[in-house]
A and B are shown apart, each in its own frame.
Chain A
Amino acid sequence: MSKTITINNVTRIEGHAKITLHLDDQGMVQDAQFHVTQFRGFEKLCEGRPFYEMPSLMARICGICPVSHLLASAKACDDLMAVAIPKTAIKLRKILNMAQIMQSHALSFFHLSAPDLLLGMDGDPASRNIFGLMKDHAQLVQDGIQLRKIGQEIIALLGGKRIHPSWVVPGGVNKPLSEEHRDQILASLGECRPIIHRTLEIYKSIQANFKEEIQTFANFPSLFLGLVSPGGNLEFYDGNIRVADAARNTIADQIDTLDFNDYLEESVEKFSYLKSPYYKAFGYPDGIYRVGPLARLNIIDRCGTPQADEEWAEFQGLQRGAVLSSFYFHYARLIEVLFCAEMMERLLQSKDILDPHVRAYAKPNSFEGIGVCEAPRGTLMHHYRINKNGKIEWANLVIATGHNNLAMNRGVLQTARHFVKGEKIEEGMLNRVEAVIRAFDPCLSCSTHAVGQMPLNIELLSASGTLLDSVKR
Chain B
Amino acid sequence: MLGYFIRRLLAAIPVMLVLALSVFLLLRLSPGDPAVIIAGDMASPEQVASIRTALGLDQPIYTQFFIWMGNMLQGDFGTSLISQTSVMTMITQRLEPTVSLALAAIVFTVLISVPLGVIAAWRQGSWVDNLVMSVSVVGFSVPVFVIGYIVIQVFAIKLGWLPVQGYRSLDNGFGEFASRLVLPALTLSSVYIALIARMTRASMLEVLKEDYIRTARAKGLGERLVLFRHALRNAGVPILTVIGTGFALMVSGVVVTESVFNIPGLGRLIIDAVLARDYPVIQAIILLTAGLYVFINLLIDLSYAITDPRIRY
Decide whether A and B are members of one complex. no
